With several copies, the nearest count.
Chain A
Amino acid sequence: MALEIQIGDRLANVEKVSEEGSRMLINIDGKEFDVDLVMVEEGVYSILYNGKSFNVELVNTDDPKSYTVNTLYNSYEVDIIDAERKYQMSRRGGDVDEETYISSPMPGKVVKIPVSVGDEVKAGDPVIIVSAMKMESEHKVKKDRVVKDILVNEGDVIEGNQTLVVVE
């Protein structure tokens, strides 16, 4: 089964050609890799390729087709683009304007929401301030906006990447 795998900006065509025990022949963009691969711990793979020993860890996200993949020094965002995903992507149509959903990449606590629904805010104005581990982060709008919805209250504990404020 051939798959497309998105890794950072690169889209790779990948196929497992054959498998015998831990020995696998994998084709990536036309080049064949003869590897010996075993899962040694949950989500941790030991791969021997050309004698070289690699340790690769997969960290799962909420989406079963997305991984964070850690190698020795690099960390990659990896997405499996199978038929289903392709269909979803085609249906989704144009890009969502991510800018209208304000979130914090860091989990924490909402310290202050200096705006109310209906407020007009200028580019660079903070709309929410989140604190974690003694450090506060201001989240600002990048363009002039109107506050459409506020989904959390001051004092709330929030997860990373949760939508906090909607603007338009």
Chain B
Amino acid sequence: MIEKVLVANRGEIAMRIMRSCREMDIRTVGIYSDADRTALHVRYADEAYHIGKAPSSDSYLHIEKIIAQAKESGVDAIHPGYGFLSENATFSKRCQEEGILFIGPDPMAIETMGDKITARKTMKEAGVPVVPGTAEPIKDESKVVETIHNIGLPVMIKASAGGGGKGMRLVMTEEEILPAVRSAKSEARESFGDDSVYIEKYIKSPHHIEFQILEDKQGNAVHLFERECSVQRRHQKVVEETPSPIMTPEVREKMGRDAVNAAKAVNYRGAGTVEFVTDDNLNYYFLEMNTRLQVEHPITELVVGIDLVKEQLAIADGKDLSVTQKELTQKGHAIECRIYAEDPNENFRPSPGKVKHITEPMGQGVRVDGYVYEGYEIPIHYDPMISKLVVWGLTRKESIERMRRSLYEYKITGVKTSIGFLEKVMKQSDFIAGNYNTNFISHHWDELMETEECGEDCEQMAIIAALVDFEKKQQYAKSSQNNGQAEKTSYWKYFGRQKNLTRI
């Protein structure tokens, strides 16, 4: 019976996990680095302990310190959240050795899925479709050409020793094959001293679609349908939704079955995500499996109604899944927008700093998973994500409208955020039509970078507010020189000073 859990993480996901623990009446232990003494998870936890310096390697990634704290605090389990140690097989193993439940799969499953080649092989054996391509590197030119013909165009040639795009060639037409093979091989030889290559089917305008799965220790497994994660910038997900606008019931069932098979093939335990690369015709191929909770898990929770963290804890505790595949249904539509501390006008440069004001959106169908508060200084050491804004609507249309409204209401000042950029995504006609793939942001870059104008009056109002504020400041400065009410205002001076020192 899990009664006390150490949450080996920070930020919104630490809060997310502790909230479910509190609902389950499980006590929580938080850990914090030098940079996080004032973080919300420290204030929310039942207990909190300092674990090391600001750099993650000294704190949130330091396995032995965390294990030692877990033992000292007498916890039954450790929840790693996402990122940090969540997909670290050594950590999972160390927990096992110390008799602490690790809320996640065992080391073997993490290792198998963590290594791309082993994962690909395991999936192939389990009958889960993988991107067609060579399993072993090829040196012989004619063998390469033959393989390309077997796989079918378009393909990508990749140097087997490669990296950084060197020795990589995209082949779209028959005539390009031979020149491409030769130039790829020669570039590979020059760059890496090894001209052997892999061939992989090229997916032209891919969609990123993933399936949430749950499997308990008794081997019962279900999938909780898909998440469409194709709105990406620099291979980072920005907006996710479920159901996918391109999904059909037939393909959903097939992909879901494959996702469950993928999990079963590694004796998976807990919550996990099977990612597929999918083309416009809904041909799909296993990409990788994330052996942890995903950032975007809330959209599944809103549409399916299950609390995934509670299921994780129940599974770790040895309980059966609370639901069967048949009982699971999707109701309505959900979208998540990731709110980052970054400046979209300066190529999304991170914008750490002190949060001055926050107004969070409220009302029907709106969920904010965040962790910053007014006066909180977002540290420079960790991820720039401030919060996840998640909405539910009865239809996809309603959920887009609700997201638009929520972004409009969401105000964060002190740091720059991606809120305005996300509003433009929600108003983009191809997004509204559900007609997009992973190239969406780059295709619509100019449009998404346009500044929205709030009209001529806006600028005038900005001038008026500045005038009035400045005049008030002057008046105050004068009046405080002319009278001696030092005693009465000293308290507020004190707070003024405080704030000044900390540079709100």
Contact = CB atoms under 8 A, between A and B. Distances in A.
A contacts B: CB pair < 8 Å: yes
Interface of A: 1, 3, 5, 7, 10, 12, 14, 16, 22, 24, 26, 28, 33, 35-60, 64-65, 67, 69-74, 76, 78, 80, 105-109, 131-135, 137, 157, 160
Given A47-B464, A133-B383, A39 B498 contact: yes
B37 interface: yes
Contact of A54 (B413, B461, B470, B495): B461
Contacts of B37: 22, 36, 38, 46
Contacts of A16: 467-468, 471
Contacts of A51: 29, 47-49, 73
A150 B463 CA distance: 39
Given A56-B462, A59-B414, 14 more contacts: A16-B471, A26-B467, A39-B498, A41-B357, A42-B498, A46-B37, A47-B465, A54-B458, A67-B466, A69-B466, A73-B458, A106-B349, A108-B350, A133-B384
Chain B interface size band reads: 35 or more
Contact of B420 (A12, A73, A107): A73
A78 B466 contact: yes
Contact of A133 (B73, B352, B458, B461): B352
A79 to B, nearest CB: 9
A107 B458 contact: no
A74 B423 CA distance: 13
Interface stretch (B255-263, B290-298, B449-457): B449-457
A55 B466 contact: no
B48 A48 contact: yes
Contacts of A24: 464, 468
A44 B465 CA distance: 9
Nearest to A72: B454
Contacts of B73: 51
Contact of B43 (A36, A40, A131): A40
Interface stretch (B122-130, B218-226, B373-381, B437-445): B373-381
Nearest to B477: A64
Contacts of B458: 54, 71-74
A86 B498 CA distance: 29
A64 B460 contact: no
Contact of B454 (A26, A73, A137): A73
Contact of A14 (B349, B357, B467, B469): B467
A107 B42 CA distance: 24
B174 interface: no
Contact of A108 (B43, B380, B470): B380
A58 B413 CA distance: 10
16 contacts: A7-B466, A28-B464, A36-B50, A38-B38, A40-B43, A40-B376, A46-B38, A53-B44, A54-B458, A59-B413, A73-B458, A74-B451, A74-B453, A74-B454, A74-B462, A80-B470
A73 B451 contact: yes
Interface in B396-448: 411, 413-414, 420
A110 B412 CA distance: 27
Contacts of A72: 454, 458
B45 interface: yes
A45 B37 CA distance: 12
Contacts, number: 181
B30 interface: yes
B356 interface: yes
A82 B187 CA distance: 64
Contacts of B465: 37, 45, 47, 56, 58, 69
A41 B30 contact: no
B353 interface: yes
Contacts of A106: 349-352
Contact of A53 (B38, B46, B376, B498): B46
B351 to A, nearest CB: 7
Contacts of A44: 357
B375 A40 contact: yes
In this complex, which of B353, B420, B467 has the most chain A Cβ atoms within 10 angstroms of its Cβ? B467
A71 B380 contact: no
Contacts of B389: none
B341 interface: yes
A50 B48 CA distance: 9
A57 B498 contact: no
A116 to B, nearest CB: 25
Nearest to B420: A73
In this complex, which of B48, B350, B374, B466 has the most chain A Cβ atoms within 10 angstroms of its Cβ? B466
Contact of B461 (A40, A43, A49, A160): A49
B42 A135 contact: no
Given A45-B468, A53-B46, A74 B459 contact: yes
Contact of A76 (B46, B373, B381, B462): B462
A10 B463 CA distance: 11
A77 B37 CA distance: 28
Contacts of A134: 350, 382-384
B351 A12 contact: no
A72 B461 CA distance: 11
Contacts of A43: 356-357, 469
B473 interface: yes
Contacts of B491: 60, 64
Given A14-B467, A37-B464, A69-B465, A52 B380 contact: no
B485 interface: no
B492 to A, nearest CB: 9
A133 B341 contact: yes
B459 A7 contact: yes
A58 B463 CA distance: 10
Interface string B335-374: 0000001000010011111001100000000000000011
B357 A57 contact: yes
